Amino acid sequence: MKERTVLVALGGNALLKRGESPDPAVQRENVRRAAEALAPLAKEYKLVLTHGNGPQVGLLALQAAAYTKSKPYPLDILGAETEGMIGYLIEQELRNILPPDVPVATMLTMTAVDPSDTAFENPEKFVGPVYTKEQAGEVGNATGWTFRQDGFDWRRVVPSPEPVKILEMKPIRWLIEKGAIVICTGGGGIPVVPSPGGGYSGIEAVIDKDLASAILAEELRADLFIMATDVEGVYLNWKEEDRELIGETTPRFLGENRHHFPPGSMGPKVDAACRFVEATGNPAAIGSLEEIAEIAAGSAGTIVRRESETR
């Protein structure tokens, strides 16, 4: 009987690496490699998966903008589309690897945000493909989108409000109790806000996947929360020659060195790890997807623990 629950948040690189063509075949091949890395964990743990969707949302927005006779689809609908698309790819590739009696389920997930969140006044979440500065200017003039520099490239930025509540917690728990591998909260979830008359309505935003995954992991009381990305872990002085990989650490140490982790890259992952550890007392980890089994065993990546449990 599997007792321990592990939540793995797959970075956008699991589907589409920087500079790759967004062709379905490219994304499927990347997902296939991710599924191969994740399959061993499914044999040992109750496995819950989340994923990014920044490149896919940006791509769908560009496609929608090409239909000049209709209004572009809002980001909440594009988020729902990518949850279904990416969930399908992950679910199918896992099914192709795992024994046929292992249930895998994808759930469209809504995440409530605060409509007065200051993020709506300061868009900073990168979505979509990379551009040169000149290309970004042309697309921005044509669409009204906001662009910012991302490394050596330029990308569209959209509001990224803090996640407040995941609305589908009950059915997610039901599926886990029945032994299913659950794929949910993709791209941080579909962004919604409370409606004045009750219920919820969609809003133009993209929620940070790692922060939403931390809330999900906390709600599930996960035994381990892993954020899988394309680097070995969290570094001090990341862009310098003397950069240093952080092995085992604590929320306090990461907080004291917060200036090393920029908002547009490792910052949200560090914040999500610290929040989860402080809320539950259970460990969080950040590291390479290729080393996911070693990360789960505590022998790779950056492992964040409570102060009293560090070695």
Half-sphere exposure of 153 (CA within 13 A, CB side): 12
Query: Residue 257 catalytic?
Result: no
Q: Which of 52, 54, 125, 282 is catalytic?
A: 125
Catalytic residue among 58, 209, 233, 282: 209
In degrees, rounded to 5, the angle at the alpha carbon of residue 109 between the alpha carbons of residues 90 and 233 is 55
Task: Determine which one of 11, 30, 187, 269 is catalytic.
Answer: 269
Q: Catalytic: 209?
A: yes
Which residue out of 11, 13, 30, 287 is catalytically annotated? 13
* Catalytically annotated residue among 12, 79, 128, 188: 12
- CB-CB neighbours of 196 under 10 Å: 7
Any catalytic annotation for residue 269? yes
- Our answer to whether residue 17 is catalytic in this structure is no
Q: Please, is 146 exposed, middle or buried when counting C-beta atoms within 10 Å of its C-beta (0-12, 13-18, 19+)?
A: middle
Do 73 and 60 touch, CB atoms closer than 8 A? yes
- How far apart (Å, rounded) are the C-alpha atoms in residues 292 and 299? 10
CB contact at 8 A, 73 and 64? yes
- Known catalytic membership, residue 237: no
Q: Which of 54, 42, 56 is nearest to 8 (CA)?
A: 42
Catalytic residue numbers read 12-13, 125, 209, 269
